Structure 1
């Protein structure tokens, strides 16, 4: 999977370089002719729909309102599909979505186009990634040891939790990694992603759960409903802290920290171990260019990439902040960057 993701990131950067300045998406979508709206709706995935993310949602809403001069409404959701359908249908105008969700929405409606993406710690697209984890409860990691490292060999037959089949880091990437690993074995040479969705005696997993959110998948693991669970670092960062090992590395142990909000407030001190870690392309903000004009798109891009937003502590939380939010400064260079549709072609390739 490391090779796959290295290829993905490399191809994405090539695509962005090739696509910059072409304005192809705008030209094809005819966004310049869009009738302006008085109110813009921002759709949020379940992961960002909780009360602990409200301050970030509200501040992003203020940024959109200030940039466009329009009212802003927030559409929080309980299912990935709701947010994807909302942006594709035009009932939402902006969405903060995973790469897989963006690809699905764009396939449904090519007028859905990326707006900006959070940079990596370098302040560039080169490390604009977060991490997909496969995790087991602390104390059970020995079953997945292989020499000095870890292996996913023994996940077969286990109770497994994904996030949603529209989740990039909670389904698309881990399922691709599992198929890539096990299909090299004669017993599983015909294994497909579809084979990972249903559990049972004659299936790859004994039981398959979907947490609905990354937080939900983590809770499936911590409560014992699942033996192994997929979820990402950023979506649980507000609830857990590194207990031992190196962050985002197989073998690292994380624990639910003191003061963690629901649903983790009943799991304080519970620990889990990472057995597999894979980098994933960052989540973009995307817009429906059939409902947002080219003029408003430019205003949004200019504002999101401005110093005012980069230095806004309610959007990019300072490194030492104890508050919860979607984005946090680690190096002080993090910011929003313009990104092209082609950046997400490697994720499309995983679906082919």
Structure 2
């Protein structure tokens, strides 16, 4: 009888201990209703964007009374997993990153996206670039026009296979172009993931961020690189040609911050430019109550955010921010279906 009582007591104590551990782990993940954690991709995690990240946090804190914590990352997957598994409440992801997070957890939904100059979703796009070092640019020409034909067999740098403009869009574009030629009729984006003697590219590198992919090119680790305009705008300036047009030449600023500080003055040329849907702020609706989600939407889409020069940076400003203000740019509400064109690329 004593043994049986002892066994019951032991079982009870184990249950209490495990219940306590479970509660503790859950509290650690969600950090309570008084804290909002924002996960950032590697592109926006650099020291040069500290003030821009904190400015968004300050506005949210002032309007909600909640503490905002910033989770910076060095890997796309870390940010995607953080919002999908509830370790982050909000995240700023590319379209492909959002789709991957939503596929992992349908409770992850977009909340707002930056518009184009019109102030609407009609021109809410940025640009995916394929770039080469300017000293090699002429070898990527067919007559007077630039061509991507010579990229086959080259050393190529992507950003991450979870990047929209640093992998999804350029890989689909490359496949669609080369499939028109008989030799590459069976080419798929998966064939571009790694290089080798029997592969499309001789070598494939991943920058981990758009900045990293650009530096791979400028340090001659890669012959061709994919990266986007918005993620490198703070570090480069137009040297020749027209912004975001094939043939445009960009030069790294002499006072460029890391990781471009080691390649100051280097130039690259665009051989392909493709518009891409803008990146959304997304929310884990399992973590964030509906009333708080509505409040966040109201904050994000407010004039206060749109007119904040540390969030939407005027063209003439030297401040390193997340968005440029050329006309009526602002954040507006966005729905899941808006990203269907990116989903279609996988079909």
Q: Is the shorter-chain TM-score for this pair beyond 0.5, marking a shared fold?
A: yes
For 2:229 and 2:117, locate their aligned partners in 1 and report how far apart those are by CA, in whole Å: 15
Partner of 1:298: 294
Q: CA deviation at 1:202?
A: 0.7
Which structure ranks higher in relative contact order (CA pairs < 8 Å, sequence separation ≥ 6)? 1
1:283 and 2:279 equivalent? yes
Match of 2:137 in 1: 141
Does the CA contact (< 8 Å) of 2:310 and 2:319 recur in 1?
A: no
CA contact (8 A) 1:218 1:230 kept: yes
Which residue of the other structure, out of 205, 211, 214, is the alignment partner of 1:218?
Answer: 214
1:40-59 mapped onto 2 (5 Å cutoff): 40-59=36-55
- Equivalent pair of 2:151/2:224 in contact (CA under 8 Å): yes
User: Do residues 151 (structure 1) and 144 (structure 2) align?
Assistant: no
1:160 corresponding residue in structure 2: 156
- Which of the residues 339, 345, 351 maps onto 2:346? 351
State which of 69, 73, 77 in structure 2 corresponds to 1:73: 69
Partner of 1:115: 111
Matched residues, number: 318
Which residue does 2:205 correspond to in 1?
A: 209
What's the secondary structure of 1:201's corresponding residue? coil
Per-residue CA deviation, residues 219-267 of structure 1 (Å, 9 max, x unaligned), is 0000000000000000000000000000100000000012101111121
Determine the C-alpha separation between the residues in 1 that align with 2:289 and 2:69.
18
Cα RMSD for the two superposed structures: 1.3
Retained in 1: the 8 A contact 2:241–2:249?
A: yes
Whole-Å Cα distance in 2 between the matches of residues 140 and 316 of structure 1? 35
Task: Quote the Cα distance in structure 1 between the aligned partners of 2:191 and 2:306.
Answer: 43
Moved runs in structure 1, 4+ residues, more than 4 A?
Answer: none
Q: What is the CA-CA distance between 1:101 and the residue it aligns to?
A: 0.1
| Alignment check: 8 A CA contact 2:129 2:272 kept | yes
Question: For each residue in 1:74-125, what CA deviation from the matched residue of structure 2 results, as whole angstroms up to 9, or x when unmatched?
Answer: 1000000000000000100000000000000000000000010000011111
SS state at 1:90 partner: coil
> CA offset at residue 35 of structure 1?
12
Residues 146, 247 of structure 2: 8 Å contact kept? yes
Contact 1:36 1:291 in 2 (8 A): no
1:272 shift after superposition:
0.3
Q: Look up the SS of the partner of 2:243 in the other structure.
A: coil
Matched residue, 1:3? none
Q: Does 1:244 align with 2:216?
A: no
User: Does the 8 Å contact 1:35/1:291 carry over to 2?
Assistant: no
1:135-168 per-position Cα deviation (integer Å, ceiling 9, x unaligned): 0001211111123321111100000000000000
TM-score, normalization: structure 1? 0.89
Structure 2, unmatched stretches of 5+, are 1-29
Give distance in 2, aligned partners of 1:257 and 1:66. Answer: 36
SS of residue paired to 1:83: helix
Once the two structures are TM-superposed, the CA of residue 36 in structure 1 deviates from its matched residue by 6.8
Which runs of 5 or more residues in structure 1 are unaligned? 1-33
TM-score (norm 2): 0.90
Matched, 1:106 2:102: yes
Sort the Cα spacing of 1:282 and 1:227 in 2 relative to 1 into closer, same or farther, 3 A. same
CA contact (8 A) 1:164 1:170 kept: yes
